[in-house]
Amino acid sequence: MTKKILLPVILVLAATAFFSIFIVKEVNQAIVLQFGDPKRIILKPGLNFKIPFIQNVVFLDKRILNLDTPPEEVIASDQKRLIVDAFARFKIVDPLKFYISVGNERVARSRLSTIINSRIRNVLGQQELQTLLSKDRTKQMALIQEGVNTEAENFGIKIVDVRIKRADLPQANSEAIYRRMQTEREREAKEFRARGAEMAVTITSTADKEVTVILADAQKKSEIMKGEGDGQRNKIFAEAFGRDPQFFAFYRAMQAYETALIGGDTSLILSPDSEFFKFFGNIKQKQ
């Protein structure tokens, strides 16, 4: 009879102990609730106790968490449009305030995403597009983080960092810029080709001019050398004629005979008394 009574008692005590004990891990922090009201905040890891069936525990992450915000269109002060894709890292520093204000991490992420996008539009909308694409963007991100932190404190959250992953032009703007860049490159290509053609014409005309000058100079030198040669030849002939006029006359006559008589169909009609035949003797007597 005693055993039958002790067994249920042991089971009840075991169940009570089981539901009374909970463990807080190193990556978590916990809030003990009693009928929905916060009773204790547990920040240190370890074994803890609660009143079973009356109290329950909510665990919150105490690590640095990442948040990817949806891409947001920003209009800069010069009316240029930009698609900004940002991300943030945050940490729950006040579990009680976090639980009371947002309840859970899903709601917190939604609220933070809205705040970050709003702050991005507010800060970047006051700058020109050129500023957003330069090194000064770091200063703008610091202003964004400061503004988001101010609002996130109300949720027991600290913003560790806010960064822009991408900042792109809208598709329509990108295509227009691409077409403008393409037109500009085509214009530059035409200018380069025109300059190249002009340089080719200049080089060709210069080369033709130099060739003409070289040929003319060569022709001039050739005529001078030819004249000098003819003069030297005449000088030699004159000297030879002066030494032996009869032999020179005979030699010149032989050259004339070779030129006139050797050949093909050439016919000469001359008088037998012609000077041309003086070295043939008296042709009449031979006849």
The pLDDT score that the predictor gives to residue 262 is 63
The pLDDT score that the predictor gives to residue 286 is 45
Q: Please report, rounded to a whole number, the percentage of residues in the chain having pLDDT higher than 70.
A: 73
Reduced 3-state DSSP string for the chain: CHHHHHHHHHHHHHHHHHHHEEEECCCEEEEEEECCEEEEEECCCEEEECCCCCEEEEEEECCCEEEECCCEEEECCCCCEEEEEEEEEEEECCHHHHHHHCCCHHHHHHHHHHHHHHHHHHHHCCCCHHHHCCCCHHHHHHHHHHHHHHHHHHHCEEEEEEEEEEEECCHHHHHHHHHHHHHHHHHHHHHHHHHHHHHHHHHHHHHHHHHHHHHHHHHHHHHHHHHHHHHHHHHHHHHHHHHCHHHHHHHHHHHHHHHHHCCCCCCCCCCCCCHHHHHHCCHHHHC
Q: How confident is residue 29, by pLDDT bands cut at 50, 70 and 90? A: very high
In the chain, what are the domains?
11-61 (no CATH), 65-173 (3.30.479.30)
* Structure confidence by residue, pLDDT tens digits, 103-150: 899 999 999 999 988 888 888 777 776 766 666 677 878 888 888 999
Q: pTM for this one? A: 0.54
Pick 161 or 285 by higher pLDDT: 161
* Structure confidence by residue, pLDDT tens digits, 81-92: 778 888 899 999
